[in-house]
């Protein structure tokens, strides 16, 4: 029988030490237990791209979803809600009760390293998608955790940067998506950001956590820190952070709290409030009735309930944006006789950006394999060439080149020693697929600690070609690389030699060369020692959050190839009816912990596009990236361009669905694509200097900036082509008067006027514009609603309904400390597809002053 615990009664009998124990994690992914009162733990899981489970990198496989920006490009709240349902079931397969998602920070600048995780540059669009995401997850009994609260919009100096944001911009732009999620979906948790806002760390900001979220928004969920993001012992408790993660506590141990408690510096009322919220979270998750912690498993991707594989494929295709389609280059029919599939991202798996959101999927699809599976059975010859180098570092060995000597599988074996110097017997042997190994506290149980251990990593590498090949080694701790027992590279683990790898915690790579013969086998061995920096007194103050938890190494390998790769690819394309060129970035260019180093397509990719475009009559460029890239001048030479973002495990099949015309592209840009970085609103202040980043563009983020200065970007927000053409006709509005209690519904007739036999969908965006002579400045226009049509055949019509409310039209008045719509305010409502295609349709008026907190 289900029991409802008496939480107030629990608080009355718990000791102060037990209450404080609830305010910090017990382990990497679990909250604390209080056995004396049968208070169980609760497990959480990353993240935005799927429920990874507790092992970072090489754990139990999980569904790898399209990236957040791709979901943003769907503009489809119903689909996002379905994704939430799927994520909840994925969480259950990992025995987790709370998912650390969605990421709802904004795309402030195109080089933001973590933009790919987040939906959009627009706060309203982000907020509505966040609401659907949270509702979908929590409707299945799993908690959601919108993050990172707030203004975590860059990765450079992310633990120390201070974001200077004026009051209106903070409320109307960066806090707004969180406020919408709280008002409409009531998330069980929210995660604080690493950075400071206006001088205070987010995890200890009374203004953000108590004054705004608790008192103004009346939210009573759990505020947890980002991992390692609790910056203080006393202030974080007193100012509203409920839960330090991960455990064991670094700032909230009883040892550290002893002296502040004696001096009366800890607010015991806050302790009770936070402990109560943790106990209520356990109740929401039904942990009192079901405290089991089952082994993780991988769900059946063909399950009948959600049909995961089909949902992932549909979601991925729905986010793909067609930016160009000259002379109906697409779709590419199956009767093509010879097709070139070129580019560095065609054959390899580029499923997502790097960092905590990356997942080991149960299967992968590549663009090359998916295209072959469709066109070759129809009689087409599919030719492939890599076309260009793109790696930021030496690539890790491709699958099959390096094999575990213990089992013959692709990858490497790790032989673990319960000592720091590789002495004694091997206590555990494990296998990993990826030679970029990063452990996050997940050592074998035979080791059971994060310090004082060592391992040997062994793999047998068989070159495909003969020549002088490049080999590299990077590591977090001390490591040596041996080739057939010859020491060839070494990393000393020096703290001062940190580079861009391993969340910037590890070294840069060191490179050497060796003559190797095709077909021969070479034994590679890495001897690795845990870095143990947290034990070195002279380094403790220099260690970044979580640095002590990460260990790992990276083996790079590249076979010599003196060829002109773009020219060779062009020679192949010359003989083909069409060429699909797959370019972009990957998880080492776009990743948590650092911002993107270049706006251009890296490596030789631009020359590849240009060379192929001169000799092939149909050139389709597929771009895989989480943010815009520089497109001048190559976009003028391509016949068709698809922006596919990062699509998780179904990336290959989703691209095929669009290219072949099985699905009509309906993705629309959730961000503005600039022509140059210099045109961007945050160009002058990103990523800041001297640990300060001033948000000098204010309210004018994204498209609002281009509206303000009157210039045209490469592509506006909302842009996206279809195989069809659509006509939009505003029809009616339910009311022309705004009030806080009544919603307004706009009706727009959408007609598919032809162009393809494949059914198509159109997104209708509603904007509002207010007289710029108002007492508070406002953007030229702002999004206040959007909706997506059903799939329509040529000639079909549908009335699309877009609902909005007064909250979408408000402005925050710092002088009053509240949101307001002034009496007599008049708004022009515009309807269109994108920011450059919005025409006036209705007038709305606020006859009386409307205010809210």
End-to-end CA distance of the chain: 41
Residue 85: which residues within 8 A CB-CB, separation 6 or more? 136, 137, 139, 140, 306
The residue assigned the tokens 């494949």 is 758
The residue assigned the tokens 């009770």 is 272
Structure tokens at 585: 């970035």
Q: How far apart are CA 772 and CA 781, in angstroms?
A: 10
- 121 torsion bin: left (phi>0), alpha (psi -120 to 50), beta (else): alpha
Q: How far apart are CA 133 and CA 135, in angstroms?
A: 6
| DSSP tag of 770 | E
DSSP of 137-159: HHTTT-EE--EEETT----TTTT
Distance of CA 303 to the CA centre of its chain: 26
Q: How far apart are CA 233 and CA 246, in angstroms?
A: 14
Q: How far apart are CA 362 and CA 349, in angstroms?
A: 13
Q: How far apart are CA 43 and CA 30, in angstroms?
A: 4
Question: Strands 189-192 and 222-224: what pairing?
Answer: parallel
CA dihedral 614, 617, 618, 621 (to 10 degrees): 0
Q: For helices 565-574 and 605-613, what crossing angle results, to 10°?
A: 30
Question: Strands 619-624 and 725-733: what pairing?
Answer: unpaired
Structure tokens at 224: 């947890």
Assign 506 to helix, strand or coil: coil
Which H or E element spans position 5?
none
From 46, 76, 153, 226, the catalytic residue: 226
Q: How far apart are CA 706 and CA 674, in angstroms?
A: 9
CA angle 623, 786, 716 (to 5 degrees): 40
Which H or E element spans position 92?
helix 77-93
Assign 731 to helix, strand or coil: strand
DSSP of 750-768: EEEEES-SS-B--EEEEEE
**Residue 278 burial class via C-beta count within 10 angstroms: exposed 0-12, middle 13-18, buried 19 and up:** buried
Active site residue 226: yes
Question: Can you list the pairs that 34-41 forms with residues at least 24 positions away whose Cβ atoms lie under 8 Å?
Answer: 37/10, 37/13, 38/288, 38/291, 39/10, 39/279, 39/282, 40/282, 40/287, 40/288, 40/291, 41/287, 41/291, 41/293
Q: How far apart are CA 386 and CA 396, in angstroms?
A: 16
497, 507 Cβ separation under 8 angstroms: yes
Assign 140 to helix, strand or coil: coil
Distances (CA, A) of 749 to 38, 796, 802: 58, 10, 11
Q: How far apart are CA 220 and CA 687, in angstroms?
A: 33
Strands across the sheet with 510-516, in order? 436-440, 550-558, 467-475, 510-516
**Residue 816 burial class via C-beta count within 10 angstroms: exposed 0-12, middle 13-18, buried 19 and up:** exposed
Structure tokens at 42: 């609760």
504, 474 Cβ separation under 8 angstroms: no
Question: Strands 412-417 and 454-461: what pairing?
Answer: antiparallel
Give the residue numbers annotated as catalytic, written as ranges. 226
């Amino acid at each position: 029988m289900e029991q409802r615990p008496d939480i107030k009664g629990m608080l009355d009998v718990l000791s102060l030490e037990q209450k404080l124990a609830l305010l910090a994690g017990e382990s990497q992914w679990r909250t604390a237990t209080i056995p004396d009162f049968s208070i169980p733990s609760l497990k959480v899981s990353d993240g935005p791209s799927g429920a990874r489970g507790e092992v970072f990198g090489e754990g139990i496989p999980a569904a790898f979803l399209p990236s957040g920006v791709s979901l943003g490009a769907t503009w489809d709240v119903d689909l996002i809600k379905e994704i939430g349902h799927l994520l909840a079931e994925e969480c259950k397969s990992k025995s987790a009760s709370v998912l650390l998602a969605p990421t709802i920070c904004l795309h402030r600048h195109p080089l933001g390293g973590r933009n790919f995780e987040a939906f959009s540059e627009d706060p309203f669009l982000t907020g509505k998608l966040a609401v659907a995401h949270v509702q979908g997850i929590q409707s299945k009994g799993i908690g959601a955790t919108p993050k990172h609260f707030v203004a975590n919009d860059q990765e450079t100096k992310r633990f120390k940067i201070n974001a200077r944001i004026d009051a209106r911009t903070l409320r109307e732009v960066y806090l707004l998506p969180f406020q919408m999620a709280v008002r409409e979906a009531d998330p069980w948790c929210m995660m604080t950001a690493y950075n400071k806002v206006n001088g205070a760390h987010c995890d200890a900001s009374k203004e953000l956590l108590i004054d705004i979220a608790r008192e103004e928004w009346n939210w009573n969920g759990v505020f947890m820190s980002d991992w390692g993001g609790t910056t203080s012992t006393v202030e974080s408790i007193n100012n509203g952070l409920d839960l330090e993660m991960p455990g064991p506590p670094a700032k909230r141990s009883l040892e550290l709290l002893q002296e502040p408690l004696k001096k009366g510096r800890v607010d015991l009322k806050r302790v009770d409030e936070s402990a109560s919220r943790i106990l209520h979270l356990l109740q929401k998750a039904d942990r009192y009735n079901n405290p089991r912690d089952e082994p993780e498993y991988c769900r059946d991707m063909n399950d009948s309930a959600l049909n995961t594989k089909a949902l992932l494929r549909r979601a991925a295709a729905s986010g793909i944006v067609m930016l160009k389609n000259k002379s109906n280059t697409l779709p590419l029919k199956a009767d093509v006789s010879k097709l070139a599939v070129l580019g560095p991202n065609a054959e390899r798996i580029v499923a997502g950006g790097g960092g905590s959101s990356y997942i080991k999927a149960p299967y992968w699809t590549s663009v090359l394999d998916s295209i072959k599976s469709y066109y070759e059975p129809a009689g087409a010859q599919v030719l492939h060439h890599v076309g260009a180098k793109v790696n930021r570092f030496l690539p890790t060995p491709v699958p099959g080149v390096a094999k575990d000597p213990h089992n013959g599988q692709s990858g490497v074996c790790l032989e673990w020693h319960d000592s720091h110097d590789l002495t004694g017997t091997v206590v555990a042997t494990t296998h990993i697929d990826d030679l970029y190994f990063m452990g996050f506290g997940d050592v074998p149980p035979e080791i059971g600690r994060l310090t004082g251990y060592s391992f040997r990593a062994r793999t047998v590498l068989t070159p495909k070609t003969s020549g002088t090949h490049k080999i590299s080694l990077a590591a977090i701790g001390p490591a040596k690389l041996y080739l057939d027992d010859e020491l060839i590279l070494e990393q000393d683990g020096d703290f001062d030699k940190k580079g861009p790898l391993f969340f910037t915690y590890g070294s840069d790579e060191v490179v050497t060369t060796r003559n190797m013969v095709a077909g021969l086998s070479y034994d590679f061995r890495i001897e690795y020692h845990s870095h143990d920096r947290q034990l070195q007194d002279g380094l403790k103050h220099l260690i970044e959050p979580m640095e002590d938890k990460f260990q790992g190494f990276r083996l790079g390998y590249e076979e010599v190839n003196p060829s002109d790769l773009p020219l060779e690819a062009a020679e192949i394309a010359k003989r083909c009816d069409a060429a699909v060129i797959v370019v972009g970035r990957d998880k080492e260019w776009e990743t948590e912990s650092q911002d993107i180093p270049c706006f251009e397509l890296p490596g030789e990719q631009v020359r590849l596009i240009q060379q192929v475009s001169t000799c092939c009559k149909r050139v389709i460029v597929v771009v895989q990236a989480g943010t815009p890239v520089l497109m001048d001048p190559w976009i003028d030479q391509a016949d068709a361009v698809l922006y596919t973002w990062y699509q998780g495990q179904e990336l290959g099949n989703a691209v095929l669905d669009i290219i072949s015309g099985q699905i009509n592209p309906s993705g629309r840009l959730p961000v503005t694509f600039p022509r140059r970085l210099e045109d961007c609103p945050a160009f002058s202040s990103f990523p800041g200097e001297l640990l300060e980043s001033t948000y000098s563009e204010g309210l004018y983020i994204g498209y609002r900036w281009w509206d303000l200065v009157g210039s045209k970007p490469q592509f506006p927000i909302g842009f996206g082509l279809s195989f069809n053409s659509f006509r939009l006709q505003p029809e009616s509005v339910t009311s022309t008067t705004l009030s806080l209690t009544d919603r307004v519904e706009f009706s727009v007739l959408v007609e598919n006027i032809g162009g393809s036999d494949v059914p198509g969908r159109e997104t209708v965006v509603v904007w509002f514009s207010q007289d710029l002579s108002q007492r508070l400045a406002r953007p030229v226009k702002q999004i206040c609603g959007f909706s997506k049509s059903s799939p329509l055949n040529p000639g079909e019509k549908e009335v699309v309904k877009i609902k909005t409310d007064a909250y979408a039209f408000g402005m925050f008045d710092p002088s009053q400390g509240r949101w307001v719509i002034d009496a007599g305010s008049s708004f022009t409502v515009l309807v269109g597809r994108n920011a450059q295609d919005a025409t006036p349709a209705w007038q709305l008026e606020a006859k009386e002053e409307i205010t809210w907190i």
